[in-house]
């Protein structure tokens, strides 16, 4: 329903940089550093009027219930009414959501946001009849309707809808599954409550000698410490807590896998993997090609682990040594004004028309820049078809924040170009494509920084950041994808998913990925117990495909001048399947060539870092 694209908290900096920090109140933030939501609704009164109008319009759908199959004209009128209601709601939701995000302690806008949530439920209920009723129309009759000239622009829209027909059950069975959804989701809810609220990791001694309660946030900080005993302490303390509950976590994960397999079988899919990827119009070949090509390129990851061992001067490399930086942090303060200039230079290879949208974002206040009391943390790009594509930041004067800016700008320009080149019903894009646009911008920024800064320390820092990002997004997420496929296959074959069975497979898999220089810590075999993505149903592979595609596209833009092809993808929205859309940019994601090209970039930058650190082979 909502077309809000979001990327929460990418590369958020811990450092404190500028004068506009969390202690200031919302009303004290300079206007030029806030987003302008008056272009959505002039004021709250206009918002309330829009809410009232939308509520009244829901009754317009009643005349089409049970009649969508009467004629092509009725089908068209029902579709246009449905789409207009959704379109109006999305504009309302953007205003409510973003006013709330400005200051989550503001009770008035908390109420406005709650009002939008209630409206979402009403809109969802009012429009729920549409898809099952269309799918109930006789195929021959519907095919004849779609020949009507007025319905031709919606052909792909209906093709996507009809692709679900073979996997849609009779209405009474659909109602039964819908009613059981809460019960079927109880295992992941139990995991979430246990993982987020009830886990007690105990205390650790930090580098400064203070005793503190270990949290997930502190764990991340300690794992990046230059002191190995500090890293080891955090690692063993955290995993001791998870291993103490290994059978509970095995039960919640096993139950979730059984749910995925049950629903896939019920809906006539060959497997849970097929059900998950095909429902997003992605063939399983994309998934399988990813895991195959990553496995073939694991020697590159083994080299990177070996480099860590040498640079950090370690006798043994452990799992807790994989996140500490190989370089010192660089003293490169970057103000927001500096960042805007850097972004325009880094993104220049995309062409002047792309930069014009970036300049509009800066000039027309699409960006809420700085932190204030109560403001939502992290960063995202959001908006709707009839609004500007806004960006929320919590700016700090660091290089990481420049990456955040260009990342979110990638989403924002993608949204802008899609909405200005597609009608509403194709004016969005799936997650599978979304992260490619944002990560391509990061790749262009990396290239710009490497070409602009001659200081070896800065170059080494940027290369290390890039390699760590690729390691975490392509290699690590594919490791997760491999494990996810295995646990579903095991359950489908009737094999019990015990804690011991999953630990045995995961431990061996981790050793295969990181290679002979990594000492096998027994704790890492239980990493599966703390990964929430395993409850998301074949989601993580998209991180890896997106990063690899972005790496390849950025190189093609820089070396082959393929910016125009790339922008054809940004403009296409949902007008074709995701693979057809990305093919416009020159990438076939069913074949391995784009992955091979991405790994070649990784290898080249690994060579550069080895040379800079004096470890060239």
Residues labelled as active-site residues: 408
Helix axes 456-470, 541-560, angle to 10 degrees: 140
Helices (H), 420-455: 431-452
E-assigned strand segments in 406-542? none
Measure the CA–CA gap between 19 and 30, rounded to whole angstroms: 11
- The set of residues, in sequence order, having a beta carbon less than 8 Å from that of 473 and lying 6+ positions away, is 543, 544, 546, 547
Residue 380 pairs in a beta bridge with 392
From residue 240, alpha-carbon distances to 59, 222, 283 in Å are: 57, 16, 40
Residue 272 near residue 261 (C-beta atoms within 8 A)? yes
Burial classification of residue 97, based on how many CB atoms lie within 10 Å of its CB (0-12 exposed, 13-18 middle, 19 or more buried): buried
Helix axes 107-127, 44-57, angle to 10 degrees: 20
Measure the CA–CA gap between 119 and 109, rounded to whole angstroms: 15
Burial classification of residue 524, based on how many CB atoms lie within 10 Å of its CB (0-12 exposed, 13-18 middle, 19 or more buried): buried
Residue 417 pairs in a beta bridge with none
Q: What is the full DSSP assignment across 540-566?
A: THHHHHHHHHHHHHHHHHHHH--HHHH
| Structure tokens belonging to residue 465 | 């950041």
Residue 66 near residue 133 (C-beta atoms within 8 A)? yes
Residue 376: DSSP 8-state: P
């Amino acid at each position: 329903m909502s077309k809000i694209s979001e990327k929460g908290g990418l590369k958020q900096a811990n450092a404190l940089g500028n004068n506009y920090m969390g202690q200031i109140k919302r009303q004290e933030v300079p206007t030029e550093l806030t987003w302008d939501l008056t272009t959505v609704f002039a004021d709250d009164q206009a918002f309330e009027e829009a809410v009232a109008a939308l509520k009244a319009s829901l009754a317009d759908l009643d005349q089409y219930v049970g009649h969508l199959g009467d004629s092509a004209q009725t089908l068209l009128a029902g579709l246009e009414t449905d789409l207009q209601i959704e379109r109006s709601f999305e504009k309302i939701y953007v205003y409510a959501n973003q006013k709330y995000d400005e200051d989550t302690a503001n009770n008035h806008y908390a109420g406005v946001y709650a009002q939008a949530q209630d409206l979402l439920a009403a809109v969802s209920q009012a429009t729920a009849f549409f898809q099952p009723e269309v799918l109930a129309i006789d195929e021959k009759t519907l095919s004849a309707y779609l020949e009507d000239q007025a319905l031709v622009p919606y052909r792909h829209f209906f093709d996507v809808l009809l692709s679900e027909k073979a996997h849609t059950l009779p209405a009474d069975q659909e109602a039964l599954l819908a009613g059981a959804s809460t019960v079927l989701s109880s295992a992941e809810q139990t995991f979430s409550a246990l993982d987020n609220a009830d886990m007690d990791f105990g205390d650790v001694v930090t580098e400064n000698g203070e005793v503190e309660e270990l949290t997930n946030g502190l764990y991340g900080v300690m794992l990046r410490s230059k002191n190995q005993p500090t890293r080891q302490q955090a690692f063993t303390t955290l995993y001791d807590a998870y291993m103490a509950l290994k059978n509970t976590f095995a039960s919640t994960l096993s139950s979730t896998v059984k749910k995925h397999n049950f629903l896939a079988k019920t809906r006539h899919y060959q497997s849970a993997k097929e059900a998950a990827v095909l429902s997003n119009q992605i063939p399983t070949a994309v998934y399988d090609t990813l895991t195959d090509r990553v496995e073939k390129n694991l020697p590159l990851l083994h080299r990177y682990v070996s480099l860590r061992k040498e640079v950090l001067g370690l006798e043994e490399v452990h799992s807790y040594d994989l996140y500490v930086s190989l370089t010192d942090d660089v003293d490169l303060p970057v103000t927001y004004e500096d960042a805007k200039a850097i972004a325009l230079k880094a993104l220049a290879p995309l062409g002047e028309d792309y930069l014009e949208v970036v300049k509009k974002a800066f000039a027309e206040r699409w960006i809420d820049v700085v932190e204030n009391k109560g403001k939502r943390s992290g960063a995202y790009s959001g908006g709707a078809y009839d609004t500007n594509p806004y960006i929320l930041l919590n700016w700090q004067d660091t290089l990481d924040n420049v990456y955040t800016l260009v990342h979110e700008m990638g989403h924002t320009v993608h949204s802008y170009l899609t909405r200005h080149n597609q009608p509403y019903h194709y004016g969005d894009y799936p997650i599978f494509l979304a992260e490619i646009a944002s990560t391509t911008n990061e790749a262009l920024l990396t290239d710009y920084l490497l070409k602009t800064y001659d200081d070896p320390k800065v170059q080494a820092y940027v290369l290390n950041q890039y390699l760590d990002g690729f390691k975490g997004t392509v290699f690590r997420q594919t490791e997760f994808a491999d494990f996810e496929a295995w646990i579903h296959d095991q359950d489908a074959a009737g094999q019990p998913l015990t804690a011991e069975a999953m630990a045995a497979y995961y431990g061996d898999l981790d050793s295969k990925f990181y290679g002979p220089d990594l000492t096998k810590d027994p704790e890492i075999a239980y990493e599966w117990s703390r990964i929430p993505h395993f409850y998301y149903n074949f989601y993580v592979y998209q991180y890896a495909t997106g990063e690899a595609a972005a790496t390849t596209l950025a190189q093609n833009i820089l070396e082959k001048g393929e910016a125009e092809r790339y922008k054809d993808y940004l403009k296409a929205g949902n007008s074709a399947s995701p693979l057809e859309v990305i093919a416009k940019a020159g990438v076939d994601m069913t074949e391995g060539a784009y992955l091979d090209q991405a790994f070649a970039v990784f290898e080249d930058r690994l060579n550069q870092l080895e040379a800079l650190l004096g470890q060239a082979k």
